Structure 1
């Protein structure tokens, strides 16, 4: 399976996780966020950057997650109805942190909070099978200038 991550060029050369808090992890829990498509990765950046800094130098990371790797899934119906609301970050972070700590699988499929029916894939760099995940290449990425900062 190919997954995508759009990041500033200086971070695009290797598969690193910052440990910063996000929807599916609390601060200090290292996880690599990827998306099922370039388009979803783009929207994630636009939303999380609040439209700021989109004219910086970005790259798309094309990442191969070998098919034999186990993928755990959090189905949307297993979450509260308003799970995507910022007020419910704690609920999602708790689920993601539990998955990270358990080291059950190297990949966690989570629903996109931006587009219903779409998915993001979290990669656990602490999982022993994470070494099978490969950064295939990076590609230049320019946000459409009509997306206003």
Structure 2
């Protein structure tokens, strides 16, 4: 609805503002619906994903670059906490059995850590990386190693 000089009134302005607000709300709903569809597709792909054969070489490169930057841990995986059955609660509560709540690729990545990296002296730490709206956001898996300076 619009108004002209002849139809100008406070009611016409309120009606125009209401229609603009409804139009914006409809656009937002459409955007959120399409974003949810895409996020669901990403989640499905994440859950179907496997650890790639070259993962160990990629991790070695990441660790070397991380050390070169002066860091002592490397972020090796990031995904939304809502993709976990407990939505990250076991991680935020520092539950020692947080890994038992993993599913899909996150579980396969953790199993890869246990099989390939833990025997090599690495540790893994899971953390909530951000808190949008005060709720747990993304989960990060950090690969850690002890550093000892022998000089």
Whichever structure has more helix as a proportion of its residues is 2
Larger RCO, structures 1/2 (Cα 8 Å, 6+ apart): 1
**Shorter-chain TM-score tier:** under 0.3
Select the structure of larger CA radius of gyration: 2
Whichever structure has more strand as a proportion of its residues is 1
Q: Structure 1-normalised TM-score?
A: 0.23
